[in-house]
Structure 1
Amino acid sequence: MPFDLDPHWLWLIAAIVLAIAEIIAPGFFLIWLAAAAAATGAVAFLLDLSVPVQALVFAIAALVAVYAGRRYMAAYPAYSPDPMLNDRTARLVGEIVTVVEPIGEGHGRVKVGDGVWNATGPDIPSGARARITGAQGSTLIVEPL
């Protein structure tokens, strides 16, 4: 063994490395493999198993851990009190904006906060105020006030 470590220590180190990898690149998958490596380390500590048997224990523990993790995530999905958290255009619906380039022939631009967005809607002159009623991609749909 490298560094003359017992196999159970290598499994526990692998569990820590996988847990750190989950923190660095979160995907909520590596944590289950870290749990399987920790379980394998515990079994290897309690029982004198050969390396191939330890690998089999890890494979079985990984399958069980990933399956349990998927069941847990299905039963308790991530909940956000704001369902439009990552949908900026949907969050803008209902906001009042100022038309900065007149909307003619269905297209123009409106000022939202400190930015300017493409807009579509009925003819609205520059400087008028409008309400955002929806969005198509990154183009806002507006109506005159």
Structure 2
Amino acid sequence: MLSFLHQLTFWDWLALGTVLLIFEVFGAGGYLLWVGIAAAGVGLITFLLPQTPWALQFILFAVLSILSAVLWWKRQRTAAKPSDQPGLNMRGSELLGKEFELFEPISSGRGKIKAGGSMWLVSGPDMPSGSKVRVIGQDGVILRVEAAQA
């Protein structure tokens, strides 16, 4: 084993980097990307400086792995910004507190309103068609409503 370590070449590091990147493609979730890139970086260093001792190669590998992962983590944290559309994929939440006319009467606790070109199922107290209702909540795709104050 020790003789192998003394004979490490840039090909060994490039092979390790390639294997790690292949594992990353199969779903490591980003963990092996930076380690694979670090291995390729050590391969480049050993190509340029072939007399680099194996212990220094492993130290460089460890330092580059940690450094690349930490730098990426910091970049991701600073690049994260709040969405300009916080209600995206939360259909119906934009209707909370708004008033609408019942399109179909609420009978047995169910009815329909027309909001933004879409028909919505509503639940609430029985009311005739045309009554004003206010959206007070949401249960999945069904909006909870109450009679609007006149």
**Residue number in structure 1 paired with 2:78:** 75
Q: Aligned with 1:135: secondary structure?
A: strand
Secondary structure in 1 matching 2:92: helix
5+ long unaligned stretches in structure 2: 5-9
Aligned length: 135
- Post-superposition shift, 1:72? 0.9
> Could you say if the C-alpha distance between residues 134 and 27 of structure 1 is closer, same or farther in structure 2, counting changes exceeding 3 Å?
farther
TM-score with structure 1 setting the length:
0.56
- Distance in 2 between the 1:79 and 1:103 partners? 42
Mapped to 2, the partners of 1:26 and 1:128 lie a distance apart of: 55
Percent of aligned pairs with the same amino acid: 24
CA RMSD of aligned residues (A): 4.3
1:77 offset after TM fit, Å? 0.4
Residue in 2 that maps onto 1:7: 12
* Structure 1 Cα separation of the partners of residues 69 and 100 of structure 2: 47
Contact 1:97 1:132 in 2 (8 A): no
Q: Distance in 1 between matches of 2:45 and 2:60?
A: 8
Q: What letter corresponds to residue 57 of structure 1 in structure 2?
A: L
User: Is the CA contact 1:8–1:41 (under 8 Å) kept in the aligned structure 2?
Assistant: yes
Partner of 1:102: 106
**TM-score, L = length of structure 2:** 0.54
Larger radius of gyration: 2
Q: Give the 3 Å change call, closer, same or farther, for CA 17–102 of structure 1 in structure 2.
A: same
